[in-house]
Structure formats: structure tokens, C-alpha cells
Structure 1
């Protein structure tokens, strides 16, 4: 038995190849499936099973593409009620892949329809050796139960039963293979380690240490991070079946005139760095830096009913942006600006810019007492941990509605961890009619590094969900 993990950065998603000598299963595949085909070719094995643990919320599954390319059957929770062809699974179902026996456990809590796969390598022993638990249990955490409005306490209670009555009864040496790691918003406190064993999690996973049901429910339903907008969209797309990736054409390379014509009915997404966006950008454009947590924020901030036009530094950047947009269900990408911003400005076409404020400039403005709004667009928990005196907190995704709380005539200085989320915020405020916005380049990380404040607890963690974003 061989287990190969495939970790997808930014969405922090783990999928798996579970292989025997000749055949294998792919568990919770991502949408761009070439990596599974390449790896199985190298291993000399054939994909015969595609196993889904639940209706994924944060990404579009590659189950249909993989099935079409390989002829493998799709397996998933019976209660998911997929509209695609699949083999429905329920509690106690058992099937085999060569010497591996897979037993199905219904493990609701993160989602109502969730299942897990308990694997026994019968060539070596009779006890379970691996658990593919999807988003039920993570390393150091458990799945959040608050994604379904009005059902958080019900699902948290179900998750308590799942953990204590089913999963924790497996052998302590049983390996834990979750569907996400640190950086995902499917949980709250995932560790940086990507796999674990059950005995270790029993001892050190904070959620498993809460023995009282009421305390567990309270812990899992309070102070949870906001759930991005695309979570509910992705769930439904996965249930109905996404469009095949091979049917998605690469967007047209557009000259300035064609780009201007399409702008009337589209949104403009500038994926360049916040420094480049600040220098010159097309009016009304969103800025989501491709080097940031791009797919999460693209899914969160961009209206799904609109076509998307890309502004990039290169063809390769446009290609990468498309791949990551497809992962979160944004398929309506109709073009990219072929000549980039250089071609745009040398044609004398209109632009906007966002002045970049350094840490020292910001500190001088604060100490001089100059009137301005300092707007911290990080999450509420990051703000509670550390923030500038006098700064107000509106997380970047909330600016789409809460922009009206700000005086748009006042100078507004936006800050986040590094300058990326605050640049997103600047682009939103400019769309909403703000007249004077500035971005703190380097954010709280730079401000602390310059000696003007203590270290931001989240900014210094290399595996933190929003580090340098």
C-alpha cells in the first residue's frame, strides 16, 4: 500500500493517491487533474476509483474530469444527492482495492453529508492503518460546523458524536489524512504539519480534548473566521457537476480597443503586485495580487455573474490566474490585456493610481496627529491581537457593503499584514467613490520590523493563513 499526498498551495488542499501494485484511488481530487495522471503514469498504476469525502466548499472538484479521462468510477456520500453519475456510499459500506479494504463511516459535522474512509491493509494486518477524514478532523483542529446558516449548533453536536463515537475509537497508530492544512478557512487552528496519527491528536488536538458536549459546541460556534462567499457556490457546483476543464477555452488576447469594448459588461481583475497596481491601473479594476491568497479572495470578492477581464504582466501570469480562478469556480474569463499596462498608458488611456505609504511615513503621520482614517482590513482576530492605536477595523471582504461607514472625502490609509489585502481594499474603495486612498506598503509586518510596534503574531508565522497577504 502506498499513500501519496498532493498539497495544493493557497487553498491548502490535500488530495491523495491510495495505491496498490496495479491500481489506485484518488481521494478528493482538485479540478486540474494532470498531476494525478502524471504521478500514476510514473508509478505504473491505473486509476480505478475516485473517492469524495463530501461536497467541497472551497474548491471545485476534479471528479468528473478524472472519471472521463480514466474511466474510473466516482464514489461519494449517498446523502450528497449528486446529480452526476456516481456510486452512493453509506455507513458500513465496504469495498476493496487489491489488498486494501475500505470501510465507510458517516461522519457529519463539518457538513451534513460527510463520510470518511477507513483503510485496512489486509496484506499486513487486520486493524485499520489509515483514515481519510476529509474535513472532519485536521492536524490540530477539526472541521468548522458553521457553514450552513442556522445549523451551526446542530452540526457541532453531530461533529462531537462523530469524533467521540466513531473516529476516536480507531487504533491510536491509525494515520490521519485530512483534506486541508494550515491556511485553509475550513477550520480555525490547523497545525502546519499535514498528516498525523490518531493517538497524537487525542493528546494534543484542542478540540478532541474538550470532553463536554456543551463546551465543544460553544468552542466550535464562537469566534469563527468568516466563510468566503464562494463556499456555498462551490458546494452546489460540485453536487451538480462542474463544466469540464477541457471545455474551458483560454481567454482572448485583447488589444486596447477590444478590451475597452468588453469593459462595459465585465469586471476588470488586475493580478499584478500591489506596487504595480499602485503605480498605474485601469479605473474600476479589482486588485488581487496573484502572489497572495489569490483563489480564496477571488472567490470571495468577485461577483460570479460577471465576465472577467485580466490585467497581467505576462501571458504566463494570465495562464496561472485562469487556473487558480477555475479552482474556485470562476470560469467566465473572457480576455486579458495583451499589451499590459505599458501598452495602455503609451496609448494615453485613462488610469488611476494608489500612493504607497512606507512604515516610516505612516509613523510620522501618526505622531504628527494629521487627520486621516487609518483602516485596518485584516480579520477581526488579527486586529484584536495587534493593531495601531486609533485604527478602525473593517475586514477587506466587508468593504463591499461597509464602505458607506467611511467619510470618502477624508484621506484613508489602508493597512493589512503586508500590503496585499489593503491594496484589495483600496481597489474596492476607489470603485465606491473614495477620493483619497493610500496603501501601507509592508503593512503591519513592515511597521513592526521598523521598530514602531511589536511583532504581529500572525505575520511572523510562515504557515499562517494570511501571511504576507
Structure 2
């Protein structure tokens, strides 16, 4: 028996390769499926099954592409409704894989069709459970993302029954392999470990502690941040079908000369610049949006960019395909080329450029004392802002900067100083503001981490963080 967790850190997603006697199964595959096919080839195995734990909302699954390439059937749990052919398993149905087996446990709550797969080894002993978004390390799946007309409270109640009846009876030594790790928006506060055991979760996971159903519902539905905007798009694609990744790459990986690039930009395409933040601020094509590959690129792209507009790219040389694949993971399919030669082509042609002025925290400290029109803009999440921020700073989370009314509220004479936690999100925010004509701004290097160490900047906490 062979199990390999294939973890993609930028979206906190775990897919799984399971193999026995030359037969393999993939659980919750990503859209870029070559990694699974190559692994099976290296191990002289045949992919026999494609298992999905539920309709994912945070990424576009690779089930359709992988089925097309391997012929392996796609398995979903009970109550699944799709617009393509799948095997809808019954609760308790068992699938044989070489000398091992996978048993379907219907575990609704995160979604109605959610299920887990209990792996039994060569001796029929329960060895591991692949829990999807039902059970995470230290958390459970949030009940407000998907499942028709049921309320989050109703789904939370269903989740309680699932945990009590399907998870708690399992043996403590069974390994827990979830679909997500820390940083995922599919739960509230996932642990940093990428796997666990049933026994460890019974001891430490708040959702598995002894409590009434009413208390559980209140706890699991409290303090849920708004789901990222792209979640509904991804869930629909996973349920109804999507364009093959190879087709998207064929359209997107077209090198554009500068004239073709300019013509497409003038026809209302979005320019997406994925170079590192420190490079972007030194010079970029006016009107382009920065979302750098170095951080949680796909999540921010899905949260900030429209899905119905054509996109053209400016990337570091050799990063074109990576950019396209990571965009496709969250549902973008309208990329129509990249600037051949990247930003250097634009610069060498003598075209107009824009830039963002970077400043150190000590310069911010001096400017605060002397500039009456200075406004600090903190683009971190509300929870981050609450535990510490620059005195009188305005909290505008990055997600809100797609609201044109918010941007229009700035006064022409205001000098805006933007920062985030470490320096990535603030550059994204600066590019969004500049695209809407706001140019009197500065980007504070190092973000809150650096600002909080500057003794000459007054900071404060929200009352909620003092308790």
C-alpha cells in the first residue's frame, strides 16, 4: 500500500494518490492533472478511480480532465447532482483497489453531498480516512458555502449529526487526511499540521468536544467571514463542467508583440502583472493590476478580478505557463496571451510607465507629524486591524477595494499611505487605486510588521482585542 499527499501551498489544498498492487486512485485532484498521471507512470500503476469528497468551492477540480485522460470513473457521494456522467456511490459502498479498499461514508454538513473515504488495509483494518472538508486538523468545514436552500444553521445541525454518528465512533489510531490545511477559507481556523489522527482530533478539535447540538450550531456559525467571491463560480464549474485545461493553455500561451498587446488592452482587456512586488513598484504598464505569484496568487485573483473579461499577462520570463495554470485552478479561462519579452519589451519601446513610491516606516513617522492631509490606509482584514494598527488609520480590507464607491470617497487632496501585514497586499491595493485614477499614494515597505517596530509611530488596538 502506498499513500502520497500532494499538497499545494498557495491554495492550501491536499490531493491524494493511493495505490495497491498496481491500481491507483486519486482523491480531490487539482485541475493540472499531469502530476497524478506521471506519478502513476513512474510507479507502473493504472489510475482506476477518481474520488471527489464534494463539490469544491475554492478551486476547480481536475476530475473531468483526469477522467478524459485515463478513463477512470468519477465517484461522488450520495445526493450528488451533476451535468456530466459520474458514479454516485451509496453510503457504505466499497471500492476495491488492489489488496486494499475504500468505503464511502456519507458525511453531509459542509455540503449535502459531502463524503469521506475510509481506507482499509490488506488485513481489512481501518487505516486512514480521507475527510475532504468534513474534518480538518483542528476544525471542520464551514456550513455556509453551498447546498441549495438550506441555511447555515440547518447545515451545521446536519454536521453535528455527521460528526457524532460517523466520525466519533472511529478508532483513535486511524489517520486523518483532510482536503485543506492552514490558510484555507473553507474553515475558520485550520491547524498548521497537514494530517492527524482521529484520537488527536477527539482530544483537541473544538468541534469534537462534548457539547449540545445547539451549542455546536452556535459555535460553528459564529464569526464566519464572508466567503471569497470566486467560491460560487468554482462550485458551479465543478458541478456543471468546464473547459479542458489544455484548451485554456492553448489560447493563453500566445506571445503578443507590443502592438497586438496594446490593441487588446485598448479593447478593455485587463492587464495582470504577476512579477514580484518589489519589481512591480519600480515600473509597470499604466492601468495594470498587480497580483504577484510569490504569495496566495490564485486566491487574490479569484477574489479581485472579474471572470467575464479578457485578460492579458505581464510575467517574469518563464513564468507564463505557471501563471495560466494557477489562474485556471480558480476558474479563469479568458486569458488571451502575454507580452512577449515581458515588461522590458514595453520599457525598451519607450512607452509610458507608471510606478509606486515605496517608503520605509521611519519616513511614514516623519510625514505623519507634518502632513495634515495624510491618511494611513490599512488593507489587512478587520481581525488583523483589531489587534493593532496605526492610530487613526482607516481600515479598508483589500477585498473592499474593488468597490468603486469606496475609492471615489477619497478626497483629491488626501495623501494616502497604504500598508498591509508584510508588503504584498498593499502593492495589490496601490495598483487597484492607480487603475481608478488615484495616484497620490505611498506604499509602506514591510507592512505592519515593520511599522509596529517603529517607535515614533503611535499605534492602538480595538476594544474588542483588549478583552
Q: Is the 8 A contact 1:51 1:76 kept in 2?
A: yes
Report what 1:283 is aligned to.
286
Once residues 71 and 341 of structure 2 are traced to their aligned partners in structure 1, the CA distance between those partners, rounded to angstroms, is: 42
SS of 2:60 mapped into structure 1: coil
Q: Is the 8 A contact 1:131 1:177 kept in 2?
A: yes
Q: Is the 8 A contact 1:54 1:76 kept in 2?
A: yes
Report what 2:50 is aligned to.
50
Once residues 303 and 392 of structure 2 are traced to their aligned partners in structure 1, the CA distance between those partners, rounded to angstroms, is: 28
Once residues 457 and 91 of structure 2 are traced to their aligned partners in structure 1, the CA distance between those partners, rounded to angstroms, is: 54
Once residues 407 and 210 of structure 1 are traced to their aligned partners in structure 2, the CA distance between those partners, rounded to angstroms, is: 54
Structure 2 residue 123 is matched with structure 1 residue 124: yes
When residues 73 and 212 of structure 1 are mapped into structure 2, their CA distance, relative to the original with a 3 A threshold, is same
- Give the 5 Å matches for 1:414-453: 414-450=418-454
Q: Is the 8 A contact 2:390 2:460 kept in 1?
A: no
Report what 2:465 is aligned to.
none
Superposed CA offset, 1:32-77 (max 9, x none): 1111112112222111000000011111111111112222111113
What 5-or-longer segments of structure 2 have no aligned partner?
462-467
Q: Is the 8 A contact 1:24 1:97 kept in 2?
A: yes
The number of residues matched between the two structures is 454
Once residues 79 and 362 of structure 1 are traced to their aligned partners in structure 2, the CA distance between those partners, rounded to angstroms, is: 56
Superposed CA offset, 1:231-273 (max 9, x none): 1101111111221122221422112111110012311101112
Match of 2:364 among 349, 356, 362: 362
Report what 2:97 is aligned to.
97
Report what 1:329 is aligned to.
331
Once residues 452 and 45 of structure 1 are traced to their aligned partners in structure 2, the CA distance between those partners, rounded to angstroms, is: 63
Once residues 218 and 16 of structure 2 are traced to their aligned partners in structure 1, the CA distance between those partners, rounded to angstroms, is: 32
When residues 455 and 187 of structure 1 are mapped into structure 2, their CA distance, relative to the original with a 3 A threshold, is farther
SS of 2:298 mapped into structure 1: helix
Structure 2 residue 297 is matched with structure 1 residue 294: yes
**Deviation of 1:351 (Å):** 2.3
When residues 320 and 243 of structure 1 are mapped into structure 2, their CA distance, relative to the original with a 3 A threshold, is same
Match of 2:137 among 124, 139, 161: 139
Once residues 225 and 411 of structure 2 are traced to their aligned partners in structure 1, the CA distance between those partners, rounded to angstroms, is: 27
Once residues 98 and 219 of structure 1 are traced to their aligned partners in structure 2, the CA distance between those partners, rounded to angstroms, is: 42
**Deviation of 1:184 (Å):** 1.2
Match of 1:308 among 308, 311, 326: 311
- Give the 5 Å matches for 1:199-214: 199-209=199-209, 211-214=211-214
CA RMSD of aligned residues (A): 2.1
**Deviation of 1:170 (Å):** 0.8
- Give the 5 Å matches for 1:40-119: 40-119=40-119
Once residues 56 and 434 of structure 2 are traced to their aligned partners in structure 1, the CA distance between those partners, rounded to angstroms, is: 34
Structure 2 residue 394 is matched with structure 1 residue 392: yes
When residues 353 and 128 of structure 1 are mapped into structure 2, their CA distance, relative to the original with a 3 A threshold, is same
Once residues 24 and 144 of structure 2 are traced to their aligned partners in structure 1, the CA distance between those partners, rounded to angstroms, is: 34
Report what 2:464 is aligned to.
none
Q: Is the 8 A contact 2:76 2:113 kept in 1?
A: no
TM-score using structure 2 length: 0.92
Superposed CA offset, 1:112-169 (max 9, x none): 2211111222x224x4221111011101111111224872111111111111221111
Once residues 345 and 355 of structure 1 are traced to their aligned partners in structure 2, the CA distance between those partners, rounded to angstroms, is: 18
What 5-or-longer segments of structure 1 have no aligned partner?
458-469
When residues 112 and 407 of structure 1 are mapped into structure 2, their CA distance, relative to the original with a 3 A threshold, is farther
SS of 1:284 mapped into structure 2: coil
Report what 1:383 is aligned to.
385
When residues 286 and 87 of structure 1 are mapped into structure 2, their CA distance, relative to the original with a 3 A threshold, is same
Report what 2:374 is aligned to.
372
When residues 371 and 109 of structure 1 are mapped into structure 2, their CA distance, relative to the original with a 3 A threshold, is same
Once residues 131 and 154 of structure 2 are traced to their aligned partners in structure 1, the CA distance between those partners, rounded to angstroms, is: 20
SS of 2:281 mapped into structure 1: helix
